[in-house]
Amino acid sequence: MKSQFGRFNRRTFLKTSAAGMGALATPAIISSKALASSGEINLLMWSDEFPGDVIPNFEKATGIKVNQTPFSQNEEQLNKLMATGGEGFDLCQPTVNRAPQYLDLDVLAPYDMSKMTNIGNVLPAMLKSSTDLWTVGGDLYHVPHCWGSEALSYRTDLYPGDPAQLSFGSLWDESVKGHVQGRPHSYLLSIGLWWDASGQMPSNRMLDGYKDEDSFKKLWDPILAFAIERKNWVRQFWDSADNTKSGLMENDVWIGLTWDGPALSLKKEGKPVNYTAPKEGAIAWVDGLSLLKGAQNVEGVYAFLNYLHTAEVSGAVADGSGYNPVVNGADAFTSDVFKKNFQDAFPGDALANLWPWPPEPTWYAEIRSQYADKFKAA
């Protein structure tokens, strides 16, 4: 499967940003129609993707109150939508590759693209990640918000290995035994990516496991056995941005497979933490926003989306969260620290070597959860 990020790298990002700045340097962030809006919108949201003044500034400019219901994992969001039938929320935040699972719930409504006045600001590669998987019957059910990755974060003062030689295999080195963190299912995937890159177990970069359940088990059975045998390497399993940070700063974690946002937030604060792609390639994702069938303030939803899809706001989201912007020109609204951290995270050709999560059918998500639970319970 060709990476949707294949043509998106630091050079083209900066070039695209610069080209768009003439049009985007001083846009009207809030439209006159949005200024006339009122009421409130209910947002089911990732806990760390609307940092700082992003939501307060929208509320101040429009008078629209944003009620925030945070979650930390897609499974938590899916369970909440399943339990409520989507009622009580206007917008939710699926990760792009989870389209089959969310669409199966039948709680989403298609967007009226005529009301998405700033959709043309979104970087083509990012918009394509949504349109490829979330277009049904000619209607679009998802638009991008930010993108990020899972790769290796480590304590610069404690990790004993060579940062220039980082691999997913570094998580299992004898020198870090008892000082590693990760998400169970990502841990297991990374073993497969490591084995594929080293020739130990060819798997088409683990894409063969998406064919059917038998193919999945053939690959994941030996991976699970390896992980269980070495369970005592694991200091903690993380399940949120907050306990990712506490693992690094309070729970004696030296290295781990984590999202970029929490680690880069610590690095931005001057903590002895770094984050970088391993030689097998960082695991990449795009988080977006989807409209619920039961949305009560549809006009408010479009005002919010058009606000988010401006260069200033997308840049503010990135700078405050440590994740990456999806809007043309947003790079100009990020700090020098953010730019340096991005370069440190993706040195050389690391962006060309990203591994984007493929579309996940429901059967895949269910069986993968079973394997992750077995690893945790071992």
Backbone angles phi, psi at 277, to 5 degrees: -75, 135
Cα(305)–Cα(114) distance, integer angstroms: 13
pLDDT at position 21 is 31
Residue 186 placed within a domain = yes
CATH number at residue 370: 3.40.190.10
Using CA atoms, how far residue 6 sits from 17, 128, 281, 293, 363, in Å, is 18, 12, 12, 34, 27
Residue 1 placed within a domain = no
For 310-349, write each residue's pLDDT tens digit: 999 999 999 999 999 999 999 999 999 999 999 999 999 9
Which residue segment(s) compose the domain that 135 sits in? 10-147+284-352
Identify whether residues 166 and 277 lie together within a single domain.
Answer: yes
Identify whether residues 103 and 213 lie together within a single domain.
Answer: no
How many domains in the chain? 2
Residue 300 placed within a domain = yes
- Is a pLDDT exceeding 60 seen at residue 12? no
For 221-275, write each residue's pLDDT tens digit: 999 999 999 999 999 999 999 999 999 999 999 999 999 999 999 999 999 999 9
**Three-class secondary structure assignment of 315-335:** HHHHHHHCCECCECCHHHHCC
Give pTM, 2 decimals: 0.88
Work out the percent of the chain whose per-residue pLDDT is above 90.
90
Cα(217)–Cα(152) distance, integer angstroms: 26
Cα(51)–Cα(48) distance, integer angstroms: 6
**pLDDT band for position 9 (cuts 50, 70, 90):** very low
